[in-house]
Amino acid sequence: MKLETALKSLNHQDRQVRLESIQRISSGIRNDELLPVKRKNECNNHVHSQYSFSPYSPSMIAWKAYRSGLSTCGIIDHESVAGCREFQEACRILGIVPTIGFEIRLNWNHTPLKDKMFNDPDQKSVGYFPIHGVPVSKLAEIERFLQPIRQERYRRNQKMVKNIDSILRNYGLGLDFDWDVIPVSKWSERGSITERHLLYATAKKLLQKYSPGQEMISFLKNRLGIRLSETSEAYLTETENPYYEFDVTNILKGFFSEFMYVSASETETPDVEKVIPYLKEIGCIPTYTYLGDVKKESVTGDKKPQKFEDDILDEMMGLLRSYGMGALSYAPRRNDMQQIQMVRSLCRKYNMLEVAGEDINQPRQPFVNSGLGSDIKEYFDLTTWAIIGHEKMAEESLDKGFFSDSTIKKYPNLSERLKVYEKIGKETALGVRR
């Protein structure tokens, strides 16, 4: 395979072709056909792949991580672990240390915080939970757990497509779930279909009728009545913009979400007080991803100013601790320093691990955590290596996991435990890096 072909094939439909491309690229680096990129002490453990919604296959994520100089990178897909093994293999070929996980939504309907707003902008009593540090031996069990959740979401997506279709028909367009949505997903390979898939399919449909540039801008502003930010309009003005479909998708999210949304059932969003203990028992590290009140346009441009969980954060973390959850995650780049300090203070109060990642699902998002002070960055790097150490030890025995009862008994001090597992994680890296 030619190197140029390999670089263009990282998002190929066939998994084997993608991995062969990574092998060819790795060979190209060793043979000086490509300049090697020095590993920095940088981590990101929350990158979505095409098995939920993303511009990137698992192999492409590994390559982007390599080009960004990351030492470690983690895959997180909504209700799917289908990309985990490919991601692990691609990372190891390139000398990057992988960590794997997935993301689910859980409901709070049977808790004291019923009907509160969490980190889901579309539905109360529902929160997003990234699950880190998944032992590879548990992937089959996790797939059995996730499969009915995906099926329920599939049925809800069909209803939402009908809502979008009813709007598009006013403009001589339509949207079909089987013909338009499924083809832009990895559904046939145990991937999930999210609201973003619906909107991405809608963006593609609009671009069949309205040309990039002023024609698309005019339709969005004058026909749909969408107010475009200066940044968004600038992106859409660039007719050769390679991210055009994703930029339109972000804009449509703010417009269509209210009209298309159908509430998720408890089958799709299981009980938080039951699922957290279950995931902990099988060696995973459940976290809640802090969103925080959005005070202005969000970094990704797809969330309007809105109240989320700031007012209930203390009580929420106390409940999560009582359910056995020992970690909280957040993307520092989307929060102000006051919010970050509040979260860090509560994590200390509840003796909870802090996990950071940029939550990447758009092509304009950087892979490297940005805007962090050196002390915060040092802690996040420490945490990521500890999660890698946890994966290694939990794979040997669940009793050796970071949050197992025997481990906590042996290392009751969280800081000491972090350093022990960081060392294990970095020792693991020695067998992966070049």
- Enter the DSSP assignment of 219: I
Over pLDDT 90: what percentage of the chain?
84
Say if CB 287 and CB 128 are below 8 A apart.
Answer: no
Question: What is the SS3 assignment for 183?
Answer: helix
What pLDDT digit, counting tens, does each position of 49-68 carry?
Answer: 999 999 999 999 999 999 99
In this structure, are residues 161 and 177 in contact, taking their beta carbons and an 8 Å threshold? Answer: yes
pLDDT above 70: residue 431: no
| Tokens at 214, concatenated | 């002023």
- The reported pLDDT for the residue numbered 334 is 77
**pLDDT score of 166 more than 60:** yes
* pLDDT over 70, % of the chain: 96
Cβ–Cβ < 8 Å for 395, 136:
yes
| Confidence (pLDDT) at 53 | 96
pLDDT higher than 60, residue 306 = yes
Q: Averaged over 198-227, what is the pLDDT?
A: 96
Residue 301 pLDDT > 90, yes or no? no
Q: How many CB atoms lie within 10 A of CB 270?
A: 17
Q: Looking at residue 333, what is its pLDDT?
A: 75
Mean pLDDT over 338-350 rounds to 93
**What is the rounded CA–CA span in Å between residue 47 and residue 68?**
13
Confidence at residue 375, expressed as pLDDT on a 0 to 100 scale: 74
- Asked whether the predicted pLDDT for residue 434 surpasses 50, the reply is no
Q: What is the pLDDT of residue 331?
A: 79
Instruction: Kindly give the pairing relationship between strand 72-78 and strand 43-47.
Output: parallel
Listed range (178-182, 234-238, 427-431) with the worst mean pLDDT: 427-431
- Tell which wins on pLDDT, 336 or 135: 135
* pLDDT attached to residue 370: 63
- What's the pLDDT score for residue 297? 57
Per-residue pLDDT, averaged over 112-127, amounts to 95
367 or 100, higher pLDDT: 100
**What mean pLDDT value characterizes the chain?**
93
Comparing 198-202, 312-316, 364-368, 414-418, the range with the smallest average pLDDT is 364-368
CA angle 371, 434, 62 (to 5 degrees): 50
Which residue type does 163 have? N
3-state secondary structure of 236: helix
